[in-house]
């Protein structure tokens, strides 16, 4: 009898220890306002739970202080690994120092965490390649190699607080600058430098009001606009809204990134010409794999150890490949793959 009781006690202990030992992953996302972060968060939560982890998923309403508090709470509540998509790459220093002190590994998700040695890994899509794909699209659509031009172009870039934004801009401008220099592409507003074309917090309204100003100042006299290079879908949506209300010429080429539902609908309606598909399922799966490798003490899967220096360290990174999307391939890419249903795009 005693033996049975002892065995039962042991079994009980093992069960409760295993439950207590379920490893905890804190996942901090910037905001629920943008479709992509909801998907990133939901995919990661589902995959991490499926892999047997406890998940603490928080969204920070695009407020830097809220994100800092949320990450500090995750640390206080015993996170074993943190996955963070920062609102502003350089604003989480205090929390990252705390994580480092406590030996908690941190994976920067999609956006690099800057100015800190408390970052262990970075997982993202190849950000410069996103810009290259956008730049090449404009180049090919206007046939810049062969056509005489000149063509008129405007540019809208991303948030200066997001390290990705300069990579997107660089990838695209490197393709287009030679044509600007040669006079084949004319930026009528004269606004080409990153700081002049950036969009704080990537807000559609900010992109829209800058586009409205440009359209009324430089295009109201009937000047034709051939292309508007936008770094992502939220800024493209702002630009499209401005064009809808303030522009009567031939509809320009408009680029984007993320394949947001609104932007895919705009693509179907002929108002946005392309987007860059960054399948959030791919990135989430990669991060879940990295979390598992970290916690098992295994070698962590990275494919770039040179590109992403955060001003303190070069962060070992895994870069997923972004994919070009337009009206011709969106069905296969987005519907056949199960990313969206046909109804969501109606
Ligand atoms: C992401 C983009 C996104 C943008 C705005 C960037 O850091 O890489 O996919 O469109 O933030 O949220």
Tens of pLDDT along 83-142?
A: 999 999 999 999 999 999 999 999 999 999 999 999 999 999 999 999 999 999 999 999
Q: Which is the closest atom of ligand 1 to the Cα of 164?
A: 7
The pLDDT value recorded for residue 16 is: 47
Residue nearest to atom 3 of ligand 1 (CA): 232
Residue 48, phi then psi, degrees to nearest 5 = -70, -40
Q: Are 260 and 234 in contact (CB under 8 A)?
A: yes
Contact 53, 25 (CB under 8 A): yes
The token duo for 302 is 């990275």
Phi then psi for 221, rounded to 5 degrees? -85, 10
Determine if ligand 1 sits within 6 Å of the CB of residue 271.
Answer: no
pLDDT value of residue 5: 53
The pTM assigned to this predicted structure is 0.91
pLDDT of residue 19: 46
Between the CA of 140 and the centroid of ligand 1 the distance, in Å, is 24
HEC states along 166-217? HHHHHHHHHHHHHHHHCCCEECCCCCCCHHHHCCHHHCHHHHHHHHHHHHHH
Which residues belong to CATH 3.40.50.2300 in the chain?
Answer: 19-119+279-321, 127-278
The reply to whether CATH 3.40.50.2300 applies to domain 127-278 is yes
What does R_g of the chain's alpha carbons equal in angstroms? Answer: 23
CATH fold of 19-119+279-321 reads Rossmann fold (3.40.50)
Residue 282 CA, chain-centre distance (Å), reads: 13
CB of 257 within 6 A of ligand 1: the answer is: yes
Q: How far apart are CA 71 and CA 17, in angstroms?
A: 26
Q: Name the residue with the closest Cα to ligand 1, atom 6.
A: 164
Q: What is the reported pLDDT for 15?
A: 47
Among 28, 36, 111, 279, the mutation site with the greatest number of ligand 1 atoms within 8 A of its Cβ is 36
What residues of the chain score a pLDDT lower than 70? 1-21
């Amino acid at each position: 009898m005693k033996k049975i009781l002892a065995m039962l006690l042991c079994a009980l202990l093992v069960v409760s220890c295993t439950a207590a030992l379920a490893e905890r992953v804190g996942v901090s996302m910037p905001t629920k306002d943008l479709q992509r972060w909801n998907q990133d968060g939901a995919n990661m939560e589902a995959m991490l739970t499926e892999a047997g982890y406890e998940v603490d998923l928080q969204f920070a309403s695009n407020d830097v202080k809220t994100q800092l508090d949320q990450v500090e709470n995750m640390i206080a509540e015993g996170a074993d690994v943190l996955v963070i998509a920062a609102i502003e790459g350089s604003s989480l220093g205090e929390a990252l120092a705390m994580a480092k002190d406590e030996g908690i590994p941190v994976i920067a998700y999609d956006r690099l965490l800057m100015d800190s040695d408390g970052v262990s890994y970075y997982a993202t899509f190849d950000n410069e390649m996103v810009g290259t794909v956008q730049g090449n699209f404009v180049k090919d659509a206007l046939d810049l190699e062969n056509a005489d031009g000149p063509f008129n172009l405007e540019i809208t870039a991303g948030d200066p607080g997001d390290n990705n934004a300069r990579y997107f801009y660089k990838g695209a401008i490197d393709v287009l600058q030679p044509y600007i220099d040669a006079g084949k592409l004319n930026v009528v507003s004269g606004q080409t430098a990153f700081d002049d074309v950036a969009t704080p917090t990537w807000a559609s309204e900010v992109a829209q009001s800058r586009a409205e100003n440009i359209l009324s100042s430089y295009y109201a006299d009937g000047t034709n606009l051939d292309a508007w290079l936008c770094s992502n879908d939220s800024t493209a949506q702002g630009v499209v809204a401005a064009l809808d209300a303030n522009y009567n010429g031939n509809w320009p080429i408009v680029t984007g990134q993320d394949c947001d539902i609104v932007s895919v609908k705009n693509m179907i309606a002929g108002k946005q010409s392309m987007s860059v598909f960054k399948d959030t399922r791919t990135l989430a799966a990669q991060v879940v794999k990295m979390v598992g490798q970290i916690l098992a003490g295994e070698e962590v899967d990275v494919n770039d150890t040179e590109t992403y220096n955060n001003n303190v360290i070069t962060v070992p990174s895994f870069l997923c490949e972004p994919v070009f999307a337009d009206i011709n391939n969106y069905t296969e890419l987005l519907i056949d793959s199960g990313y969206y249903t046909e109804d969501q795009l109606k």
